[in-house]
Structure formats: C-alpha cells, structure tokens
Structure 1
Amino acid sequence: MSRTIALLTDFGLDDPYVGQMKGVFADKAPDSKIIDVSHGIAPFCISQASFFLAAAIKHFPADTVFVTVVDPGVGSGRRIIAAELGGCVVVAPDNGIIELAEAGYSGSVIVTDLSLAASQMRSSSTFHGRDIFAPIGADIACGKSLETFGPKLPLRDVVRIGLKKPLWMENGVEAIVLHRDRFGNLVLNIPDSKVMPERMSILGKNPCAGINTGCVRRASCYAELESDVLGLIVGSQGFYELALCQRAAAEKLNFGPGDSIVLKWGSA
C-alpha cells in the first residue's frame, strides 16, 4: 500500500503549481493519500518552512513522505536530500528546512543525497517541485528504496541556518520569528521546554503606537492579557509566541517571519 504524502510549499494557490504537483502524485502514486500541510509559507522563507515541518511531522502517520519545497536555490547546484526521521521521509532542498524537525527528533536522522538522481531527470530550471521532488516523493511512497537514489550524506554536512537554538545571553535571549499566524501571533524559536521569566522587554524595531514593549508578560492564555500588554505564551505548536488579546501582535510590533527579536529580562 502506498504511503501518505504530505505536501508543504511556498507556492500559494493562485498559480497552477500545487495542482501540477498533485497531478504527478495522482499519476505515479494513485493509491497515496495526499495531505496539504500548507502552501502559505512566505516566499523563500526557510525558517517558516522549517517550523511548519517540525510542527506537523509529529501529527502524521509514522511512515509519511513529506515533500517540502521552499527552494530559493532552484536550478542551482544546491543539493536535494531525503532525511529519514524514524519511518518518515522528508524530501527537501538542502537549505535548512529540516533543521527544527531534526532538533526535535530524539533518534538517529539518516540523510540520502538525491542530487545525482535528480540531475538525471528531465526538468525545467525553475520548477523542480513538479519535475523532481514530486516524482521522487511518489516513488518513495510507492516503496522504492532510498539506496537506489544516491549515497548517504553525513548529518554534519547538511545545511543549517542557525534555527536549532535561540541565542541565550546573560540577561536575555535573541530569538527568531518562525511564523506569523493568521491571528497575528508571532511564533518564536524558543521551545516550550524552556522556563521563561514573568517579565521581559523587547529590543529592536519601533512598535506602533499604543503598545508598551517595555513590559512583556508571561501568560497562560490570551484572555489573561490586558488590551495593551504583550504576552509571551506557550503556543499549541511546541514553541513560545508573542501575542496580544484579540489583536495582531505582528502588526503592532512590525515583525515577521525570519526577523530577530531580543527579549531582555525585566521590564523597562
């Protein structure tokens, strides 16, 4: 039986790209269930894609094939890899997408370099998602062994972009915004296993009027926050998030995916 295929891209839904990839899956892996994780990744935003993958992977069947295409280097000499995390396989460009999933996985991650096999496939120079990633993902879902695609790649050689850990300092932390959700909450790369102080302040961009960045309060839910008080809350995806009660923290703070935020202990 074919394995589930999970599709994650920055393609959006206005163009035919996602539909064409699904057409390849329908042709080459007709018995596979295709699940869209998201196609709303901000264009080229690898940090957001890494977060979406790490947040999703634990909720899928253990043998899912994730075809993850956020690929600013498409057509260049960048590698294409398959990373095995237990029974799951992630097919992705080697650009840091697997970083958070790897960091959150307790077992051994085995990586196969698919680049040689990919180079022998007929493809356009601008749409490897349809021409390379989808056919390879379909083949894996249908049972083709990864050994037939190429050699193993040492995990130390896999590209990382510094998302694994926030930068901890004596009196604060520098975090990266992984995602801005549709409510305007800013998901940070601080895992919920970390104990954070009750009061903090934000250093960085100038916020919009009416928001006091000198006091960021730890809260257990949005409703605990007063209307003009920023909260640091453990979100549902395993990371802390900055939020306002029934307002968009992202708009008020002028931060988005990939931006760096410094939280300083104590309030101004």
Structure 2
Amino acid sequence: MSRTIALLTDFGLDDPYVGQMKGVLAAQAPDSRIIDVSHGVEPFCIAQGAFFLAAAMKHFPADTIFITVIDPGVGSARRIIAAEFGEQIVLAPDNGVLELAETRFAGTMIVTDLSEAAAKIHSSATFHGRDIFSPLAASIAAGTSLESLGPKLPLRNMIRSGINKPVWLEDGVEATILHKDRFGNLVLNIPDTQTMPERMTIPEEQLLSGNDNTCVKRVCCYAELQAGATGLLAGSQGYYELALNRGAASEMLGLEPGDVLTLKWSTQCGQD
C-alpha cells in the first residue's frame, strides 16, 4: 500500500533537515510519492503555515498524507495530532496550524491524538519532523489505522488562535496577514466569498513612517491599479490580497505575515 505524502515546513532548504525527512520516508515508505508543498514558511509563523496548508489541500490526491511541521513548541508537551478530512490526513502539532483547513472544510474534520504513540518513538528534542512525523506518516501510508495510534480528540480541545476569523467592526475590519508572496502581495484572512466595499483606507499609524498612501481600492486584477496605488482583489488561493501593479505591497506598506491590519470603509478615498 502506498499514498502520496506532502511536506510543508518552515525548515528552508539551506540545512539538511528536509533531505533527512525525505530519507526517512524513502526508507520506510519506499512506494509513496513525496511532494513538497513548501519549505519557505517564515520561521515559527503558524498563520502562514495554516494558509499554505488550507490553500494546497484541494489540489492534492484524495489519499494524501500531509506532514505539516511549523512547530515552535517542538520538544514540549504540545500534542501531536492527525486530522482527517475525508481520506486526506494532516499530521501536525496542535498549535493552530489546522485552523484555516478546519474552516475551509467545515464539518468534516476528525482528529486523533497521536501524542502517546509519538512518545514511544525514540527522538531528538529538536527535530520531530524527521524523528516522529515522518515515521508516523510512513506507518499510516503502509496501512496502519489511526484508531490503533491513539484516541479521538474532541474538537473543542484543539488549540486555536483566531486567525481564521477577521474581526468585523462597525466601519471596517481587522484582518491578519497570512502570507507575503515573492511579488510582495499580502494575503489576508478574508475569504474571497465575502463582499467588500469599493474603497477603504488603512490608518496611517499602521503603515511605515512617512507613508501617506492610505487609500485602498477594490479591483478585479492588478492591471486596474495605477502606479503606486494599493488594491484589494480576490487572489488565486481563496482569500483577498493587498497588491500593487508591478510593485510590492509588502515593501510599500511595511507589513509582514502575522501582522494585523485594519481596513476602514471610505466613500471618498480613491475617487478619480
């Protein structure tokens, strides 16, 4: 028996960490196909890891096992869990990294606590991706049932940080930045199914000192924006993003993944 195994980490590619995980999988699950989702999650940035996972899942085979290791609490008493979304399984620390996937696939998630099974595996204190997550994934890919690895975990007991829910205000919204892509676009935790106004502003105190470009215009594509103007558009990953036309919104606004941004409704800003 074999399954697709997808890797998502904040390890980067400069160190041997990803290679060692793949080595374990090659030895213990030789018939499985290994696919990298990304190893470029900002170190310790659970919000960005949650976004990468939720955005990727629907594009993978139905039987994929995702090893999701953004784990600032590695070696501590934090739980190790397996979340079932239909046939797909996500192995992850219980630290909120599953929060957006739970919301996107609402009502389908079943969680198993693998902590006791993980404790029986000899491991280092700092590299559970190689020593625990990879062997567990290989075992599941070979046919080991989750029922044999641990008890079900009530969903109410899972760790959540609130990144899945923008905070709606009377005259605006507080959004968390989930991701900064290589073009400098800033993905927000506002689903693209949400109706947004045509014009908004960003409070000056949330921007780089001296930046008075507070206007935001809702657009359909990058080309609709004039040079230097900030736009809000529905991106390709299911969420709204802040963007410039051939420019980096992240650099102009001085914002990074994990930051909280306020968008205020405006009837005047951006008027031609």
Shorter-chain TM range is over 0.9
Distance in 2 (CA, whole Å) between partners of 1:164 and 1:42 is: 18
Q: Structure 1 vs Structure 2: percent identity of aligned residues?
A: 66
TM-aligned CA deviation for residue 13 of structure 1:
0.1
TM-aligned CA deviation for residue 210 of structure 1:
6.3
Distance in 1 (CA, whole Å) between partners of 2:65 and 2:128 is: 17
Equivalent residue number for residue 240 of structure 1: 240
- Contact 1:163/1:189 (CA < 8 Å) preserved in 2? yes
TM-aligned CA deviation for residue 53 of structure 1:
0.2
Equivalent residue number for residue 208 of structure 2: 207
- Contact 2:228/2:247 (CA < 8 Å) preserved in 1? no
Distance in 1 (CA, whole Å) between partners of 2:18 and 2:24 is: 10
Q: Please, which moves more after superposition, 118-127 or 204-213?
A: 204-213
Root mean square deviation, CA, Å: 1.1
- Contact 1:186/1:241 (CA < 8 Å) preserved in 2? yes
Alignment partner of 1:8 is 2:30: no
- Contact 1:211/1:252 (CA < 8 Å) preserved in 2? no
Q: Deviations over 1:142-161 (max 9, x none)?
A: 21100111100001111111
Equivalences for residues 222-237 of structure 1 within 5 A: 222-237=222-237
Equivalent residue number for residue 151 of structure 2: 151
Equivalent residue number for residue 97 of structure 2: 97
5+ residue gaps, structure 1:
none
Distance in 2 (CA, whole Å) between partners of 1:206 and 1:120 is: 49
Distance in 1 (CA, whole Å) between partners of 2:95 and 2:151 is: 18
Equivalences for residues 4-153 of structure 1 within 5 A: 4-153=4-153
Distance in 2 (CA, whole Å) between partners of 1:62 and 1:48 is: 23
TM-aligned CA deviation for residue 120 of structure 1:
0.9
Distance in 2 (CA, whole Å) between partners of 1:228 and 1:23 is: 47
SS at match of 2:92: strand
Q: Please, which moves more after superposition, 199-208 or 187-196?
A: 199-208
- Contact 1:67/1:133 (CA < 8 Å) preserved in 2? yes
TM-score w.r.t. structure 1 length? 0.97
Distance in 1 (CA, whole Å) between partners of 2:37 and 2:108 is: 24
TM-aligned CA deviation for residue 106 of structure 1:
3.5
TM-score w.r.t. structure 2 length? 0.96
Q: Deviations over 1:61-100 (max 9, x none)?
A: 1110000000000000000000001110000000001000
SS at match of 2:96: coil
Distance in 1 (CA, whole Å) between partners of 2:206 and 2:254 is: 7
Q: Deviations over 1:175-208 (max 9, x none)?
A: 0000000000000000000000000001242336
5+ residue gaps, structure 2:
none
Q: What stretches of structure 1 move > 6 A for 4+ residues in a row?
A: none
- Contact 2:211/2:253 (CA < 8 Å) preserved in 1? no
- Contact 2:178/2:257 (CA < 8 Å) preserved in 1? yes
* Matched letter for residue 180 of structure 1: K
* Matched letter for residue 212 of structure 1: N
Equivalent residue number for residue 217 of structure 1: 217
* Matched letter for residue 143 of structure 2: G
- Contact 2:207/2:253 (CA < 8 Å) preserved in 1? yes
TM-aligned CA deviation for residue 107 of structure 1:
3.7
SS at match of 2:188: strand
Inter-CA distance 56–211: structure 2 relative to 1 (3 Å threshold): farther
Q: Deviations over 1:157-176 (max 9, x none)?
A: 11111012100011000000
Distance in 2 (CA, whole Å) between partners of 1:72 and 1:31 is: 31
* Matched letter for residue 119 of structure 1: A
Q: Deviations over 1:204-253 (max 9, x none)?
A: 4233656611x100000000000121000100000000000000000110
Distance in 1 (CA, whole Å) between partners of 2:23 and 2:212 is: 47
Inter-CA distance 40–69: structure 2 relative to 1 (3 Å threshold): same
SS at match of 2:35: strand
Distance in 2 (CA, whole Å) between partners of 1:241 and 1:35 is: 26
